[in-house]
Structure 1
């Protein structure tokens, strides 16, 4: 079909309408994002039913349909708590504490909602490029497996983890009671910070490796002497030590703090790029996509580090795009990050398998010219460089628009320039600054950012969503688009319900004991949220897990066994056939959506 283009199109879903129904934890985010992208609701969203259903139509497109379930009904997974339990989210998040712990935010549901919107946008992009309409399906259990995919890959590797996986980790506490996160990527700055506070040399030496690899292990068994050192100094002294060393510290903010400053901005921004002459709408791709692969034939250049941008590009690749990684001379150093499968980092494979790689030295003018030439023939350029770096290199959106006016230029950052006093834009610092550390734990517990990379993963999902929105806007207008997403946007999306409670003057945190698994004789079970209070009245500690689940079922209560060892997911009947191994032997989770 011809691209539905109109001069009145300002947002990618302008002139389209939608209706949705299903669990509010999923449909609330779907509704918010579709509205922000320009669609209008046909009617208020009902909140009943075990699965979310969304129809998006108008603007010259055939109706795009999406369904999002918690899981296959046969699995017994029926809500956020049981999905977190089964997919390993509770196990990974709980590593810092030494026992499985539920996230007090609706993480799997939020990720499922973003995946649903991705599927709808991909469907429309495929239609605009001559493909057929499709029905896209996703589920919270697949979203949960995607969220832990790096940890699962590492657990199935040929060697042990990069650092010990024992309980422990930040935040630290000052003498005057300030909870704070510490961040540095430099061992010298780490040592200088603790030396300024007169920490024992052996403690700062042995503490660096678990601190450095906490992104990978989701725990950080830092020597107790470093926590003692922090508690012996006031906040002003700690700020001075950070300033002198080059490390950064961030005091944990509350949800009320974040609600008071929240500007209500969307989690991404789409801006038509300047420079060049607009391409004809729909003219960029001479052939349509293959069935079920709506981005087939499109090229994505990705210059990403760590998780956020590589995951966004990985998702675009799963949708059919040809993804080319831009790596420094000698290749991405993270390819060698332990643990490895057949000599390649298992964690790296989880984010980058299937991509092609080109080595380019962006510090060299000749190589920057090569990159511009590649961008001239690409559809998307995606990066997460430090703020200002692209402009300094002559590789910003306006620079590349001069060689390709139809390019979708995507920047996934920490803060999107929205906060003047923002610290380093890494996962744990953004969690600390935005109140996620408080939202992730129920009332009565000390706030602490999760050491599971919550925002990097959700930020990657939002980055892919933003690129798909940019591609659709390009198809409808013929113009290139700059899209900006951020970890800040991911934090606000994840904590949205808590921020709204805080804005109303209510307690934004979930009640004490929320989503705490119950111990059995040989493991743990997690009751569904609606049945948690009743389930807590049963003493299950003397019963094997299977018998404990049966007892609860006899009383009409829903619960799920908690996955405590990620390799067990391979043989878990709740995910039969879902988890495979790639060509290097690394565990691979299933695609998060299917198109029919």
Structure 2
């Protein structure tokens, strides 16, 4: 007989009351996500200062701008980006710190707040007494730069130079485009078709390949010259011949005809199942006792699982024979890649060849005892290997199956589903740059990180839905969903016929004799006397902070030194983005 909750509850938060108060910048996106999860009639009270969100008067979230840093240092999106190093990383490709015109850290913090609330509700349903969630926009900023910070404070140096430069490229007929491939042979063949000697193209591969890690790509000028001498049809022909993926930058205005999805993820409940014995988690770690299998690569799925680790889940990584090749990616700490540690510390690894029948049988055996399976394989891989949701539900009907993809199958003309290609295709390159800056995707992995957060949010929603309905659940999230979440305000302005881009000079840091300072949004760029150092400039400004321009200095920066620690390998560790009590 169908469990009665299956009929009553289609969403994890159906029937749960929501009350929210505080600045719209801190609460509005979180409220939107909670409404999509079932809180249909929220009570919202705008205000200043701290954001507060309560669910059923049993779980409460408190959202502030500064949780780790002194409040006077971080008071809004601009100062959070400046202090945590986001301006520095985003500006690497241009040679100086630059702010993101989109509210990236506030968006991250909203998703983290929803994660904390869902985790607290799940913990309470499993017998814990968690009732309070504390988040901060500055904690979101430290999480955003965690891989870059770990690399900057590692034992050895980068494998490639950190210097200005990188895509996009501009054709003879004025089309800005991104190119993507994971194969060096394809890269060389693409540029060969545009007249670039193999030697020159080959010398650029390593810098191009590592741009995900360094947020910059100093490429030979020959590549830009070759692109500028070619028309867009010729570039597309070169891509077809070489099997590279190219994408013209799409403007926000061009996207006006494309629908805006209601939510950045999709939850699909399955048939009822009989749950195992309830395991009561530790009070402060609501996912303790739950097992997560992760078959992820790069950033998106590994970050999803990393957040679940922070909440107490046991995460088992499925790695290929020989282990994840990214374990040795420089720079290193204690013999392991600092970047890899930033995403994977605390996980257990099992080597399985999923391409073999024996390996797939081993994976199914692990799935039988797991609560969550998360992956970001290329489209069609799971179906081809017999490891899709329906296949694994036969082994474990109570499984939360999470696919963190690039496009979620929603765009027929989609290029390769990587961070920078999704940025290019969806208008992010325009939304993150104010007027006066050419539209260009950020070489900071904005969508991989935000996509990883949305993946964890979707998994937590799936676990809570499973708890309430006694059904297995499939959850789908994507880089496309991350893009839509980040640019939602810009798209709404476009829909209203307004200019979607921030005005010229928006959030532009101010140079001093020994660094840079940033002022809070709405403060205006003051006319400061010349030849001021940073301390003197801050003494004359209200609501301002020094811009972090060297990540290796953050561990000793008084604003964050108490929050940053080192793991057993010597790699820098950022704090958990929420505090649960």
Determine if the TM-score, normalized by the shorter chain, exceeds 0.5.
Answer: yes
Match of 1:51 in 2: 50
* Cα distance in 2 between the residues matched to 1:375 and 1:6: 23
* Cα distance in 2 between the residues matched to 1:98 and 1:124: 45
TM alignment of 1:565-584, pairs within 5 A: 565-584=550-569
Shift of residue 486, structure 1, vs aligned partner: 0.1
Q: Which runs of 4+ in 1 moved over 6 A?
A: none
* Cα distance in 1 between the residues matched to 2:373 and 2:544: 44
2:140–2:577 Cα contact (<8 Å) kept:
yes
User: What secondary structure does 1:160 align onto?
Assistant: coil
* Cα deviation digits, residues 81-117 of structure 1 (max 9, x gap): 0000000000000000000000000011000000000
Match of 2:302 in 1: 310
1:412–1:484 Cα contact (<8 Å) kept:
yes
* Cα distance in 1 between the residues matched to 2:6 and 2:524: 51
Residue 53 of structure 2 corresponds to residue 64 of structure 1: no
Match of 1:271 in 2: 268
* Cα distance in 2 between the residues matched to 1:80 and 1:263: 24
User: What secondary structure does 1:273 align onto?
Assistant: strand
Residue 475 of structure 2 corresponds to residue 483 of structure 1: yes
* Cα deviation digits, residues 388-431 of structure 1 (max 9, x gap): 11111111101111111110000000000011111000000000
Shift of residue 285, structure 1, vs aligned partner: 4.3
Shift of residue 142, structure 1, vs aligned partner: 0.5
Match of 1:379 in 2: 371
* Cα distance in 1 between the residues matched to 2:217 and 2:339: 18
2:528–2:537 Cα contact (<8 Å) kept:
no
* Cα distance in 1 between the residues matched to 2:481 and 2:160: 30
2:300–2:404 Cα contact (<8 Å) kept:
yes
Match of 2:24 in 1: 24
Q: Provide structure 1 residue ranges, at least 5 long, that are not aligned to the other structure.
A: none
* Cα distance in 1 between the residues matched to 2:71 and 2:506: 26
User: What secondary structure does 1:531 align onto?
Assistant: coil
* Cα distance in 2 between the residues matched to 1:182 and 1:520: 37
TM-score of the two chains, using structure 2 as the length reference = 0.97
Question: Which of 346, 356, 367 matches 2:348?
Answer: 356
TM-score of the two chains, using structure 1 as the length reference = 0.95
Residue 152 of structure 2 corresponds to residue 188 of structure 1: no
* Cα distance in 2 between the residues matched to 1:146 and 1:259: 32
TM alignment of 1:137-216, pairs within 5 A: 137-216=134-213
User: What secondary structure does 2:166 align onto?
Assistant: coil
* Cα deviation digits, residues 535-594 of structure 1 (max 9, x gap): 2x223x411101110011xxxx21110000001110111113101111100101001111
Alignment CA distance shift 1:374-1:240 (3 Å): same
Match of 2:528 in 1: 538
Shift of residue 203, structure 1, vs aligned partner: 2.5
Q: Provide structure 2 residue ranges, at least 5 long, that are not aligned to the other structure.
A: none
Match of 1:593 in 2: 578
Root-mean-square deviation over aligned CA pairs: 1.3
* Cα deviation digits, residues 254-278 of structure 1 (max 9, x gap): 111223212424100000136xxx2
Match of 1:331 in 2: 323
Alignment CA distance shift 1:287-1:170 (3 Å): same
TM alignment of 1:462-473, pairs within 5 A: 462-473=454-465
Higher deviation after alignment, 232-241 or 19-28: 19-28
Residue 543 of structure 2 corresponds to residue 558 of structure 1: yes
TM alignment of 1:111-510, pairs within 5 A: 111-273=108-270, 278-280=272-274, 283-510=275-502
* Cα distance in 1 between the residues matched to 2:108 and 2:463: 21
Shift of residue 459, structure 1, vs aligned partner: 0.1
Alignment CA distance shift 1:285-1:589 (3 Å): farther
User: What secondary structure does 1:402 align onto?
Assistant: helix
User: What secondary structure does 1:538 align onto?
Assistant: coil
Q: How many residues are treated as equivalent by the alignment? A: 577
Shift of residue 42, structure 1, vs aligned partner: 3.4
Shift of residue 133, structure 1, vs aligned partner: 3.5
